[in-house]
Amino acid sequence: MSKTNQKVKQPIISIKEMNKYYGDFHALTNIDLEVNIGERIVICGPSGSGKSTLIRCLNRLEAHQSGSVNVNGVELHQHMKDIDKVRSEVGMVFQHFNLFPHMTVLENCTAGPMWVNKVPPVEAHEIAMRYLERVNIPEQADKYPAQLSGGQQQRVAIARSLCMNPKVMLFDEPTSALDPEMVAEVLDTMTDLAQSGMTMIVVTHEMGFAKQVADRVIFMDEGKIVEANEPIAFFENPQSQRTKKFLSQVLVH
Amino acid sequence: MIQDTVTEDLLLRQPKFIAYLFATVLVCFLIFDPSQSIIGHLLEPALGEPDKSGLYGRFVTSFMLAVLMVLNLLAISLIPNFRLQVISVWIELLILFLSFFYSFDLSFEFIRSKIWFMVTQGIFTTLYVSAISIVIASFIAIIGAVAKMSSNGFAYAIASFYTSFFRGLPLLMQVYLIYLGFPQIGYVIDAVPAGIIALSLCYGAYMTEIFRAGIMSIDAGQWEGSRALGFKFSLIMRKIILPQSIPLIIPPTGNQFIAMLKDSSLVSVIGVWELMFLARTLGNKTFNHMEMLITAAMLYWMMTMVLELIQSRIERKYQKRQSR
């Protein structure tokens, strides 16, 4: 499954020598990572290893203290003027969905296009319905998020991000807060999205998804990238002891 | 509060408790000595003149009152319906209060001749001064809350100085300071605007904290979700955070409005013709002070009850919307 070889290697995200601290705590150490257009990356690792922090640095929900983060040709730093533009081009799906509870599903989806991209309401409505159909819940458009199941809410969250027509999609443990029977519907939506050629960076514990979809699997521990490899090599022939230990723990069941 | 599905035995069904209750009430009455009160006069045939009945009279009247009170409590506890129970207690308390007022020997003729003016002039002024002030205070509160949460030292300093100052001074003093202080710097200000400014500034300071708490209680995920879509700060505030904090802000703000309605009586000291001012001045000429004060008190109370009703309606509306 060497899908990467067929693609033009053109980095959309490049991180160099990036360090992040929370006070004295060194959360991310010397991160180097390039993500090419169309590439699917899965980041895994034990809790507290910095996986979420890493992808939250990519749309600057978190600040890094040294090194460089370049997204879609724009360098992210504290005094940048156009962070909103970068964020509008980088979709993000959260563990707890973060839908707007006072707005209907449809309003959640039209808000971004209308308020940020100044799309006229009729057109925004069309965009929203197109993506709600794509995640298979157009019939829930007029409901409020609280009326939907967890899996449906997460699919709305994915649709909401897609409405902005993003160049990259970040997923921060999208299935961790879901009941077991709802994990599949969200993973199916993500697999579908991957097949359409979207550039994706996914933090997840779903190793089946990683094997099936990822071009590259990254293993992190204690704020460092320990190992990065194509999925077959990563799962069948892990190099470091820590990766082996982690995989033996998550692949038992 | 969520009621438990199992209720404990009523205390008033336990003889021991009733005995203790009776003893306590009796002691209280003995201390206050009701022998000179209405009940003493009612028992005059049996006890003789109240002021000469002595310890015996004191004990008999106290005993009678204690029996009446405990019997009354038992009677109310026998009412099975919650609503009826509440209504009957309300009615009893009201009768007690009214008979207290009645004992002042008020001139209802005088009240009748003045009440229309008190309503049209007094209530009207009180309501519009309070309403304008609460609107201005809300605007101040939003700005103050945002400034207090800002990382800008300048904004934070001004906001915290403002809340500290206006929460730290008695409202009465603020009214004087604004009404008498502004002319010192060459700007003569009318009584009504001065009162509105004082009330707005003072309540704006308190409400800043209410708004800040309301905004802070919104989950951080809402900020992250909005930022990730590329929303700017003012957009997030207007469309995402404030709409969700409003249901949390409304109950304490309603409370503030009710408090303000009564604190607006303080602007009577600078001669605004609101309810309190009229209550103090109308009765002056003929020494009918009590009549006017009690009338004003009743009017304040009625206004407050209407406002409480409106507040609970609004709250229910928001609750319904949330549970959709």
Residue A217's region, left for phi above 0, alpha for psi from -120 to 50, else beta, is beta
User: Among partner residues A90, A98, A116, which is closest to B225 by beta-carbon distance?
Assistant: A98
pLDDT in tens, A87-121: 999 999 999 999 999 999 999 999 999 999 999 99
Strand A25-36: give its sheet, edge to edge: A25-36, A11-22, A66-71, A74-75
Mean pLDDT of chain A: 92
Q: What is the pLDDT of residue A219?
A: 95
Phi, psi (5° rounding) for residue A51? -65, -50
3-state secondary structure of B324: coil
Q: What is the pLDDT of residue B111?
A: 85
Min Cα distance A215 → chain B (Å) is: 25
Q: Is A128 on the interface with B (CB under 8 A)?
A: no
Q: Is A102 on the interface with B (CB under 8 A)?
A: yes
Query: Is there a contact between A221 and A49 (Cβ–Cβ < 8 Å)?
Result: yes
- The enclosing H or E element of A218 equals strand A216-221
Q: What is the pLDDT of residue B216?
A: 94
Residues of chain B with Cβ-Cβ distance to A94 below 8 Å are 221, 224-225, 228
pLDDT in tens, A151-183: 999 999 999 999 999 999 999 999 999 999 999
Q: Is A63 on the interface with B (CB under 8 A)?
A: no
Q: Which residue stretches of chain B have pLDDT < 50? A: 324
User: Among partner residues B232, B235, B240, which is closest to A100 by beta-carbon distance?
Assistant: B240
- B322 → chain A, closest CA residue: A102
Tokens 């904090």 — which residue? B245
Q: What is the pLDDT of residue B323?
A: 53
State whether B243 and A146 contact (CB < 8 Å). no
Q: Who contacts B47 (Cβ-Cβ below 8 Å, separation ≥6)?
A: B35, B40, B53, B56, B57, B60, B61
pLDDT in tens, B46-89: 777 777 777 888 888 899 899 999 999 999 988 888 899 999 99
User: Among partner residues B222, B231, B324, which is closest to A115 by beta-carbon distance?
Assistant: B231
What residue type is B96 in one-letter code? L
Tokens 């199992």 — which residue? B6
Q: Rounded to an integer, what distance in angstroms lies between the CA atom of residue B182 and that of residue B184?
A: 5
Question: How many C-beta neighbours within 10 Å does residue A239 have?
Answer: 13
State whether B230 and A160 contact (CB < 8 Å). no
Residues of chain A with Cβ-Cβ distance to B244 below 8 Å are 100-102
Q: Rounded to an integer, what distance in angstroms lies between the CA atom of residue B163 and that of residue B280?
A: 32
Q: Rounded to an integer, what distance in angstroms lies between the CA atom of residue A10 and that of residue A39?
A: 10
- pTM for this predicted structure: 0.80
Q: Who contacts A80 (Cβ-Cβ below 8 Å, separation ≥6)?
A: A74, A86
Q: Over 70: is that where the pLDDT of A2 sits?
A: no
Chosen for mutation from B227, B229, B248 (greatest number of chain A CBs closer than 10 Å) is: B229
- The gap between the terminal CA atoms of chain A, to the nearest Å, is 24
ipTM reported for the complex, 2 dp: 0.91
What is the DSSP-derived secondary structure letter of residue B151? S
Q: Rounded to an integer, what distance in angstroms lies between the CA atom of residue B130 and that of residue A110?
A: 40
